[in-house]
Amino acid sequence: MAKQKATSKAAAKTAVKKKWTGLGTAAKSSARKTIASKGRVATAKSKAAAKPAAKAVAKPKARPKQRIAISHHRDEDFKADGLRTYAQYRDLGIAAATHGLAQAHVIRLIGPCNPEEVSKLHYHDVEFQMVYVLKGWVKTYMEGQGETLMKEGGCWTQPPRIKHLILDYSDDVELLEVILPAEFKTVELSS
């Protein structure tokens, strides 16, 4: 049986030689390229097969599906249950709709401004914070920016953990604030 295999291999080689000698130069060149590329593919495949299996990468935990949040203005929705005693907050339902991904609320600062109460340097441990002035004006201090007067229609972002404080505000000021994530820590700093 071994003799039969050797004979058929020799016959196959002879047939290939005859075919090869009958080919023109262009055909031989094309055949060499095909053989070379197949060799590279086989080598790449054998290298990939020889590599140990990569460790499975943990997928980030999927958040539950977000839902639509609709909030209409009603004065009775402003509550004094937020971060600051001199402010009333109207929750816009974003935290519940996004399962804690973000929160948004309208803030009314209660006038007149008492600088001793509001002027406390602090920062929020957040990923994103944006404030938009809906009515009135507010004067703030932000580390690296200094004092800024923001009027109706003005908007600013506060980078994560930036030290800031409110210096003054109009009696009618209302702010829209959007923060990620919904739950975060606020750290007050000693003056």
Higher pLDDT, 83 or 102: 102
Three-state DSSP class for residue 120? coil
Distance of CA 142 to the CA centre of its chain: 24
Strand partners, 166: 140
Higher pLDDT, 35 or 77: 77
- The pLDDT value given to residue 28: 56
Cα 110 from Cα 172, distance rounded (Å): 8
Each domain of the chain, given as residue ranges in start order, spans 2-50, 75-188
Three-state DSSP class for residue 105? strand
- The pLDDT value given to residue 79: 87
If one counts every other C-beta atom within 10 angstroms of the C-beta of residue 43, the result is 10
Reported as a single tens digit per residue, the pLDDT across 125-137 is 999 999 999 999 9
- The pLDDT value given to residue 189: 87
Percentage, residues of the chain above pLDDT 70: 70
Cα 73 from Cα 71, distance rounded (Å): 7
- The pLDDT value given to residue 41: 46
- The pLDDT value given to residue 42: 46
pLDDT tier, 29 (very low <50, low <70, confident <90, very high otherwise): low
Higher pLDDT, 64 or 177: 177
For the domain made up of 75-188, the CATH class stated in words is: mainly beta
pLDDT tier, 146 (very low <50, low <70, confident <90, very high otherwise): very high
If one counts every other C-beta atom within 10 angstroms of the C-beta of residue 57, the result is 6
Percentage, residues of the chain above pLDDT 90: 50
Closest CA to 113 of 137, 89, 80: 137
pLDDT of 61 strictly over 80: no
pLDDT of 6 strictly over 70: no
